[in-house]
A and B are shown apart, each in its own frame.
Chain A
């Protein structure tokens, strides 16, 4: 039996481990100043040079006629929220994780009394703190440049909450993809394939209303819309007609992907050889 004092001591130690890992993750990202500033500026530049210009030209070509029920300003705002959502959800990539496995670098984490998944989750949470700052700057910049014509505190709060939960789902998917490095030498093909499908089916390139009805219904049964479309619509304060409420669907998909990750880890560890050590 664990006595309350022992339990609080245990919790205090665990909390310190998590906080230290989150702090390490932030410190590591601040270590390279140029990279850090590019993290801030890069997404904004891509938005104004690509997304904004693309949709602006399309609407000019159509002489301002709506596309899929979106006016020019609504579509630009949608794309602006896609950028903010991407900052909050898709910052983590499994590239480092896969390399750690392939090159046998996970051996250190197998010895530390803080598990590999805990370390990576802590790193992800640290990254999310930075991404939250970048996303806040992006929201301010898009508001002052007129891309967002109005901001509602409620929608902003709900949107950030849904986006952060979607970020956790994204992280779990990336983690599971990274674990394939136990079996395949190069996981980048999997990552590229996933990124392509995700950008098409999640509503990141265009709103899902532009898909035929049957395709939209199928896509809504997958986890992809919850990565972009659902958070964006929440930011916009739009009504959503979903098979399951967003929090339930996000929880469901997170548990499914987490289970897959656990299975992959257990199986992968049985054949891990710690090559190169």
Chain B
């Protein structure tokens, strides 16, 4: 395997066996005696490569298969078919040499021990990852400086706020200086300031250490701030794989306009439908997507017919691109192979 390629998976698939039960007492009784199962494909023929030091954002709606992919790449679950290689190891073999070089942060699940202070957890993890005592001490100081958590190191994890705990989770995951970092919703539930702090920290850390990062997040701010490349997963399949710039300009021939109106207008007017309008405040504030070639014409028509108080125009935000693609996946088919690496 090319040393520059850190992650490679070829035709990776995972099917889950799910039991089915009809509703009600009769359903319960029938399933008690005869349970029926069906196979649900979570990931289908997924091929993908990530280079050393690359930050890849995995996007997709809930249940698309992003976390399943993470689980397979970290060796937590075994693929149904296909191959995965991370740092030259097959993750499902869970060799110690492999586990020593990766890390996983799960925003929805604490990996630290609740009943003890963070510092105790770090010392334990230092032993597990065979980090020399002096080196571990140095790493703890360095990371605590960066995350500004010196005062919290001796506090029990259960007594920390969500944001503080996430910082500790990140610290724990980086103590052994992993070569690959898997981040599953690392800023979930955090306030805006905490989200920004964690993003800045990750960006700085990655630049310093050239860690390969695979990130899933429903907060587009995370993806925009960190990822260089985006992989869109829909129904277990890879549907887009290219740079974030290409993703942002997916609707390249369009402009994004935010309108503010003096008074509520008729939101059912056919004009709004033409420009994929999303009403932020019913009848008063709207976001529109206008084709560039119709831009002047459309704006003139809007200004003539509606009491516009204010308007701004900018490049389509990544969040809006994603929403539009999720609502209308056919747009991806129209782009075809050109959106896949």
Residues of A within 8 A of B (CB): 13, 16-17, 19-21, 24, 27-28, 31-32, 104-105, 107-108, 110-114, 269-274, 276-277
Contact = CB atoms under 8 A, between A and B. Distances in A.
A95 to B, nearest CB: 16
Given A110-B76, A111-B75, A111-B103, A17 B127 contact: yes
B303 interface: no
Interface string B94-117: 101001101110101101010110
A20 B99 contact: no
A272 B77 contact: yes
Contact of B120 (A19, A24, A111, A277): A24
A32 B114 CA distance: 12
B74 interface: yes
Contacts of B77: 272-274
B75 A110 contact: yes
Contacts of B278: none
A27 B75 contact: no
A17 B128 contact: yes
Contact of A28 (B96, B115, B125, B127): B115
Nearest to A275: B16
Nearest to B120: A27
Given A32-B115, A107-B106, A111-B99, A274 B127 contact: no
B115 A277 contact: no
A104 to B, nearest CB: 7
Contacts of B109: 104-105, 107-108, 276-277
Contacts of B184: 277
Given A107-B104, A108-B111, 7 more contacts: A20-B128, A107-B76, A108-B104, A111-B76, A271-B17, A277-B76, A277-B109
B251 to A, nearest CB: 33
A50 to B, nearest CB: 31
Contacts of A111: 74-76, 99, 102-104
B130 interface: yes
Nearest to A20: B127
Interface string B72-103: 00111110000000000000001010011011
A226 B129 CA distance: 38
B239 interface: no
B71 interface: yes
A270 B102 CA distance: 21
A53 B203 CA distance: 68
Contact of B99 (A24, A105, A112, A270): A112
Size range of the chain B interface in the assembly: 20 to 34
A113 B76 contact: no
Contacts of B71: 107, 274, 277
What 4 pairs across the A-B complex have the smallest Cβ distances? A20-B127, A108-B111, A31-B115, A113-B99
Interface string B226-253: 0000000000000000000000000000
B6 interface: no
Contacts of A104: 109
B67 interface: yes
A114 B94 contact: no
B124 interface: yes
18 contacts: A13-B130, A17-B127, A24-B116, A24-B124, A28-B113, A31-B116, A107-B76, A107-B106, A108-B111, A110-B74, A111-B99, A112-B99, A113-B128, A113-B129, A114-B128, A274-B77, A276-B108, A277-B76
A269 B78 contact: yes
Contacts of B78: 269-270
Nearest to A9: B130
Contact of B128 (A32, A107, A112, A271): A112
A115 B95 CA distance: 10
A104 B106 CA distance: 12
B116 A27 contact: yes
B191 to A, nearest CB: 23
Contacts of A19: 127
Contact of A20 (B16, B74, B111, B123): B123
A30 B28 CA distance: 44
B218 interface: no
Contacts of B94: 110
Interface in B99-154: 99-100, 102-104, 106, 108-109, 111, 113, 115-116, 120, 123-125, 127-130
A274 B124 contact: no
B81 to A, nearest CB: 14
A277 B113 contact: no
A112 B156 CA distance: 21
A111 B96 CA distance: 9
Nearest to B121: A24
A153 B150 CA distance: 51
Contacts of A20: 123-124, 127-128
A229 B128 CA distance: 39
A27 B130 CA distance: 21
Contacts of B96: 113
A121 B13 CA distance: 34
Nearest to A15: B127
A267 B22 CA distance: 28
Nearest to B129: A113
A28 B109 CA distance: 19
A28 B96 CA distance: 26
Contacts of B156: 31
A21 B126 CA distance: 12
A51 B32 CA distance: 41
A273 B72 CA distance: 10
B100 A113 contact: yes
